[in-house]
A and B are shown apart, each in its own frame.
Chain A
Amino acid sequence: MKERLTRCLQLLKISLDDQISKTAFELIEKSKDQNTTTIQQDRDWINALNAIADSCILNQSTFSVSSI
């Protein structure tokens, strides 16, 4: 899951040191703890993107048009 998230962040050109990335990794960790048995392979991409989207909300960050 972390690999997928890292790939998504790379595609969005968001540095791993950025606060958005840090929060996204924290969210992924939390969701892993909650759903260890139900995480499905084909939902991993969506979960990774979801963590980034939630991280944007928590950090009150916006994307550029190209990132969107």
Chain B
Amino acid sequence: MPAAGARLAAGSGGLLRGIVVTYLSLVVLIPLAAVAWRSAGGGAGSFWSSVTAPEALASLRLSFLAALLVTAVNLVAGTAIAWVLARDEFPGRSVVNALIDLPFALPTIVAGVTLLALYGQHSPLGLNLAYTRAGVCLAMAFETLPFVVRAVQPVLLTMEPDMEEAAHCLGASQLATFRRVVLPALAPAMLAGAALAFARAVGEFGAVVLISGNLPYRTEVAAVHVFNLVQSDDSGGAAAVSVVLLAMSLLVLAAIGIAQRRGTRHAG
């Protein structure tokens, strides 16, 4: 009897798994395979010339470097924000905590309009970042702000302040306490958040498209370049740039995954 039950469960489990894999294939896997296939369609020579076309190369370089810079900024800022939210007490803390999720909730195009309202032409602060690379970075920073905060915060909350107190009582300065006691415990979560932030920033489209002005060679990011190539019906070129863009975010995600695994093995 139990054998029959198990067989039945295995049968329906297989059906469920089949549905899941089919859905995932139709929506995600087959379309992404089509991009890879299309990029290879013209041979290696055509792939190489699409990717190294000056405009494509400039857009890929801008996306990569801006995403790297923004990830570094939000790694520091995000950890500081998480620490303040977890350890500091001040009126309005819960409001600030809720605000962190705003970039996740706000549509990217609204983020773009929002940033231009303050940092565009006629800026009330007198700070016009429209059509500049700084504007591109600002848009990426806005979109990726929550990742590190939301990765680090739960770890800080489960970490008792006792260890920090103990280090402090033994004579360590606040900075030394943070560097020697808090930082090692937070590092895996910080890296995980940073990886997601980079993957998001490098492909960002909606928040960047308005503020950057998409000037070729200057402020056109790779995602916008792909968009323009699709609009001008150059799907081969678009696919080639897409593959490089995709490879950048996947490589960073994989590298950080490996670093984390090595880190936890070391600690454990």
**Are A and B co-members of a single complex?**
no
B contact residues vs A (CB 8 Å cutoff):
none
Residues of A within 8 A of B (CB): none
